[in-house]
Structures are given as structure tokens and as C-alpha cells.
Amino acid sequence: MKKLELGKSGLQVSEISLGCMRMDQLSVQEANRVIQNALDLNIDMFDHADIYGKGRSEEIFAEAIQMSPSVREQMVIQTKCGIRDGFFDFSKEHILSSVEGSLKRLKTDYIDILLLHRPDTLVEPEEVAAAFDELKQSGKVRHFGVSNHNPSQIELLKKNVKQDLIANQLQLSMMFTPMIDAGLNVNMEHDPAIVRDGGILDYSRLHDMTIQPWSPFQHGFFEGVFIDHEKFPQLNEKLQEFADRHQVTKSAIAIAWILRHPANMQPIVGTMNQERLTNIAKATEVTLSREEWYELYRVAGNKLP
Ligand SMILES: NC(=O)c1ccc[n+]([C@@H]2O[C@H](COP(=O)([O-])OP(=O)(O)OC[C@H]3O[C@@H](n4cnc5c(N)ncnc54)[C@H](OP(=O)(O)O)[C@@H]3O)[C@@H](O)[C@H]2O)c1
């Protein structure tokens, strides 16, 4: 498993991170096997959120791994805050109390990276800055970032926030590519030319923020996994052809496609299946050619101008 640096933080993490959104559905023993398998594959970064399983995902993670200072040192833990029941909340009070909850559930005294989960239109950057200062000074959070944010929302935060924002978690898969489409269709009159994210891909590269693609196997908004889906026969045929060529699985090719982009992205995969994760991890050994990358983009249903 190769490593990448998150932003310009100096923090080196595995190129693939394990998303723990669905961990609440496992038993403690199953969760233990999933986490241990990830660590054996040298996947050392785990993505959480205060809301996953209403807090149960963080809790079972710590229980399963029997969290202790020596266990904690082997891993990089990221969690998120700001989504509440029916609204978003980037107030200082909520950020601080959310982190306290995560620390307690994760049985740790620090979070490596805290992300603001989804933009809050009532955000007051001064409040976020005050919360981040307190969390940084107390050592409770080491690094900060965002999720589902566009460039101007990041700039607005930066008006007051002093810490570097090192990562932005955004939906991206071979079958969900708005951030890529717009840049390929500049000044055209059809749908793919619509900039839906303020140009986040180029912004992230210019500002050294790591994009963390979430749901890298889903099409649409949680509409299902495209691998082996009967609706996408040509894509699956091509994935199989490249999988055979590179001696990996189709899932590994889908992740290699993301890793091939020079934006230095870190996909967050959500499988809780050990065999699948073991196969997906092989993606970091595959470098797709430029031709292969574009062929997959086209067979996924995209047209080039
Ligand atoms: N920031 C945000 O707003 C946001 C939103 C959503 C998710 N996330 C993060 O991103 C992580 C990944 O999201 P996700 O779980 O939706 O993404 P995903 O990795 O695209 O999907 C994983 C799901 O697909 C299933 N699956 C079925 N066939 C598969 C195959 N061939 N290869 C891989 N998976 C297959 C898995 O089941 P098995 O477990 O049975 O393999 C699992 O339920 C989450 O855990 C969370 O940490 C962030």
C-alpha cells in the first residue's frame, strides 16, 4: 500500500482509507476482523462521522480494536461533524460538543483530522475559527478539513480559520463525475459543461487540498454499486478486460481509475467485506495508461467534446 501526504500537512497516510459508515451493522468480532485486515493491508486511515450509525460506528470501532494508546498510534482517525437531525450546525458550541462525543466513543484523546461534514448556510466563520483554535490548542484535534464544500465556501472559512484545511471529501466515482466533466467541456452548451462545484478539482490542486472521493463504487446518489450491475454491461465488460490485463479485480480497476488522476486523491472505500478490501487494496499497484483512463471515462457514459 502506497502512502500519500494529506494536503501539505506532512501527515502520510495510506492511499486508500476505510470508510466506517456501515460498521455499526457488524458484530464486535466482525468489526475486529475488518479493522485488523485493513491494518494488515497497511490501510492505516479510518474515516468516521459523529452521525454514522447514530454514533454506534465510532463506538464499535473502539470496542472492536480494544482501543489503547499503543493501538491508537498505529492508525490515523478522521471524523466529521456538522450534520444534525434536519439541519446543519457549524456553531462553535456544536463543533466542540460533537468532538467531545467522538473522543468518548472512539476512546481516544485526539482526532487526527476533523472535517466539517456538509456546508451550513448559517455558518459564521468566526465561530468555526474559535472552535478550531480551542481544539488545536487543547490537542484534541491535530488537523482540519471539510467535506462537500466548494471553493468559495472554503475561502469564506479561511477568512477566519488559521489552520490549514488539508482535505475535502466529495462524491466521485467512474459513474459520478461532475467535477471532471465540467473541466472537459468548457464553454459548451450541453449539461456536462455545467460547473456544479465551483471548479473544486482545479482549486484543490492549486491549494494543495487532498480530495477524498466518497462512494467510489456508487452511481447516482446512493443508487447502488455499478460493479456487476446489469444496467451497465459495457462498463463491466471493459472493467473485466482491464482487470484481466492488470491481474486485479474490477473493483481494484475502479479505484485505480481514481488514483490515476494527478490530483493526489485518497478514495474512501466503504466495504465491510475482507476479501473485497484485500482485492481493492491491489489498486495501488496498478497505474492505468492515459488511454485506459479515458476509455473507462467514455464507457461509463461520458462523451468527450
Ligand atoms: N462526506 C460525505 O458526505 C460522505 C457520504 C457518504 C459516504 N462517506 C464516506 O465514504 C465511505 C464510502 O462510502 P460508501 O460505502 O457509500 O462507498 P462504496 O465504497 O462505493 O460502497 C461500499 C458499499 O458497496 C457494497 N459493494 C457491493 N459490491 C461491491 C464491490 N464489488 N466493490 C466494493 N463495494 C461493493 C459494499 O458492500 P460490502 O460491505 O458487502 O462489500 C458496501 O455496502 C463511507 O464509509 C463514509 O466513510 C462520506
Q: Categorize the per-residue pLDDT at 222 as very low, low, confident or very high, splitting at 50, 70 and 90.
A: confident
C-alpha to C-alpha distance for 203 and 251, rounded to whole angstroms: 28
Q: Categorize the per-residue pLDDT at 223 as very low, low, confident or very high, splitting at 50, 70 and 90.
A: confident
Q: For residue range 159-184, what is the model confidence (pLDDT) as tens digits?
A: 999 999 999 999 999 999 999 999 99
- Residue 272 CA, ligand 1 centroid: distance in Å: 8
Mean of pLDDT values over 182-201: 95
Q: Which of 134-138, 276-280, 300-304 has the lowest mean pLDDT?
A: 300-304
Q: Which of 26-30, 146-150, 301-305 has the lowest mean pLDDT?
A: 301-305
Mean of pLDDT values over 188-209: 96
C-alpha to C-alpha distance for 300 and 215, rounded to whole angstroms: 16
The answer to whether residue 52 is catalytic is: yes
- For the Cβ of 270 lying below 6 angstroms from any atom of ligand 1, the answer is yes
Mean of pLDDT values over 17-27: 98
- For the Cβ of 22 lying below 6 angstroms from any atom of ligand 1, the answer is yes
Protein residue with least CA distance to atom 4, ligand 1? 214
- Determine the residue of 33, 226, 268, 275 to mutate for testing ligand 1's pocket, defined as the one with the most ligand atoms within 8 A of the Cβ atom: 268
Q: DSSP label at 15?
A: S
Mean of pLDDT values over 77-93: 98
**pLDDT, position 298:** 98
* 123 three-class SS: coil
pTM: 0.97
**pLDDT, position 190:** 92
Residue 273 burial (CB count, 10 A): 11
* 142 three-class SS: strand
- For the Cβ of 288 lying below 6 angstroms from any atom of ligand 1, the answer is no
**pLDDT, position 2:** 94
Q: Categorize the per-residue pLDDT at 90 as very low, low, confident or very high, splitting at 50, 70 and 90.
A: very high
CB 70 within 8 A of CB 116: no
- For the Cβ of 174 lying below 6 angstroms from any atom of ligand 1, the answer is no
Evaluate if residue 122 carries a pLDDT over 90.
yes
- For the Cβ of 169 lying below 6 angstroms from any atom of ligand 1, the answer is yes
SS3 content of the chain, % helix, strand, coil (to 5): 45, 15, 40
Mean of pLDDT values over 109-125: 98
Protein residue with least CA distance to atom 44, ligand 1? 19
**pLDDT, position 184:** 97
- Determine the residue of 169, 225, 228, 250 to mutate for testing ligand 1's pocket, defined as the one with the most ligand atoms within 8 A of the Cβ atom: 225
**pLDDT, position 259:** 98
C-alpha to C-alpha distance for 59 and 47, rounded to whole angstroms: 13
C-alpha to C-alpha distance for 139 and 155, rounded to whole angstroms: 25
Q: Categorize the per-residue pLDDT at 141 as very low, low, confident or very high, splitting at 50, 70 and 90.
A: very high
Average pLDDT, the chain: 97
- For the Cβ of 297 lying below 6 angstroms from any atom of ligand 1, the answer is no
- Residue 150 CA, ligand 1 centroid: distance in Å: 23
- Determine the residue of 149, 217, 230, 278 to mutate for testing ligand 1's pocket, defined as the one with the most ligand atoms within 8 A of the Cβ atom: 217
- Residue 47 CA, ligand 1 centroid: distance in Å: 11
**pLDDT, position 56:** 98
Q: Categorize the per-residue pLDDT at 221 as very low, low, confident or very high, splitting at 50, 70 and 90.
A: confident
**pLDDT, position 262:** 96
**pLDDT, position 51:** 98
**pLDDT, position 272:** 98
* 119 three-class SS: coil
Mean of pLDDT values over 31-48: 98
Mean of pLDDT values over 135-156: 98
CB 16 within 8 A of CB 280: yes
